[in-house]
């Protein structure tokens, strides 16, 4: 079993071109899969939107993601951060794809110049009634849909997305991971804008959410008539996600920056 000094931990800004932008994730690299309860305790202690745990598993890596309060089925920015960590620490050779076994099936990450490209499942939303979402979001809703994880709502304009100030306690009572709000672009640097609220998982607003773009990419590809798009997530930190719809998969591209690295001082039970 690994010793205390054998468990590196890093904090990495994902979907970021510079430090202190994009979405921060912690990445823990144990030698074997730790107990779920310990992983949840670590995630609560670090209190970032996601903490990823990756360990060698055959010719790939096991990968699980935890918010401060719960495990999730899919996370883009922490997967991008994990791949960046594996290459940065020499666990994977430069240019070698990162393969992950997860609760959402096999996911891969590859290097594309200075960027990283994730191969994720498309998660299109199906139209559904608005219900109480308009009141909870405090905005007119143009379209409402839902996939296996989230609600997604189209607002009238990019400015409406930026101004959106939801009733977070009401959103926390929804039986979904979170709510994506989106609109068409008002800036030639991107094709659509979004924000993501998930108070039920202890995150009022996530800075840049890769997995949300698994729903956003098919939605906007259909409406804009092309499969390659750039999304901008308009949180306080903000970040761009490059999206390519490829059948039932979505390729998500972005960069990552390591902020710090160290060693875990509390090993998993039995380590």
Positions annotated as catalytic residues are 50
* Closest CA relative to residue 214, chosen from 122, 80, 151, 134: 122
Q: Is there a contact between 66 and 40 (Cβ–Cβ < 8 Å)?
A: yes
Q: Which residues contact 166 (CB under 8 A, 6 or more apart)?
A: 136, 137, 138, 179, 197
User: Strands 51-57 and 23-28, how do they pair?
Assistant: parallel
| Torsion angles phi and psi, residue 268, rounded to 5 | -65, 155
DSSP string, 58-93: TTEEEEEEE-SS-EES--HHHHHHHHHHHHHTTSS-
SS3 143: strand
Question: And the tokens for 245?
Answer: 């719809």
Give the integer Cα–Cα distance in Å for 11 and 114.
19
Question: And the tokens for 65?
Answer: 């993601």
Q: Is there a contact between 214 and 121 (Cβ–Cβ < 8 Å)?
A: yes
Strands annotated E in the chain: 8-14, 23-28, 51-57, 60-66, 71-72, 98-102, 105-112, 115-121, 126-127, 143-146, 150-154, 178-184, 192-198, 203-206, 228-233, 239-246, 249-254, 256-263
């Amino acid at each position: 079993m690994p010793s205390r000094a054998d468990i590196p931990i890093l904090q990495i800004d994902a979907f970021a071109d510079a430090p202190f932008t994009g979405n921060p994730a912690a990445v823990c690299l144990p030698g074997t899969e730790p107990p779920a309860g310990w992983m949840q305790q670590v995630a609560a202690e670090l209190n970032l939107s996601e903490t990823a745990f990756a360990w060698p598993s055959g010719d790939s890596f096991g990968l699980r993601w935890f918010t401060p309060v719960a495990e999730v089925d899919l996370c883009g920015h922490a997967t991008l951060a994990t791949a960046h960590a594996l290459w940065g620490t020499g666990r994977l050779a430069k240019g070698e794809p990162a393969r992950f076994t997860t609760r959402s099936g096999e996911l891969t990450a590859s290097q594309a110049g200075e960027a990283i490209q994730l191969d994720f499942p498309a998660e299109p939303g199906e139209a559904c009634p608005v219900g109480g979402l308009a009141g909870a979001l405090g905005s007119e809703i143009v379209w409402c849909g839902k996939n296996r994880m989230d609600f997604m709502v189209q607002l009238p304009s990019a400015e409406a997305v930026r101004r959106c100030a939801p009733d977070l306690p009401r959103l926390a009572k929804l039986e979904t991971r979170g709510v994506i709000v989106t609109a068409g672009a008002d800036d030639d640097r991107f094709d659509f804008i979004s924000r993501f609220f998930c108070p039920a998982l202890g995150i009022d607003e996530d800075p840049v959410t890769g997995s949300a773009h698994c729903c956003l990419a098919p939605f906007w590809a259909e409406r804009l008539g092309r499969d390659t798009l750039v999304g901008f997530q308009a949180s306080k930190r903000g970040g761009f996600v490059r999206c390519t719809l490829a059948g039932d998969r979505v390729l998500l591209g972005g960069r990552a920056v390591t902020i710090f690295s160290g060693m875990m001082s509390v090993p998993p039970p039995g380590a």
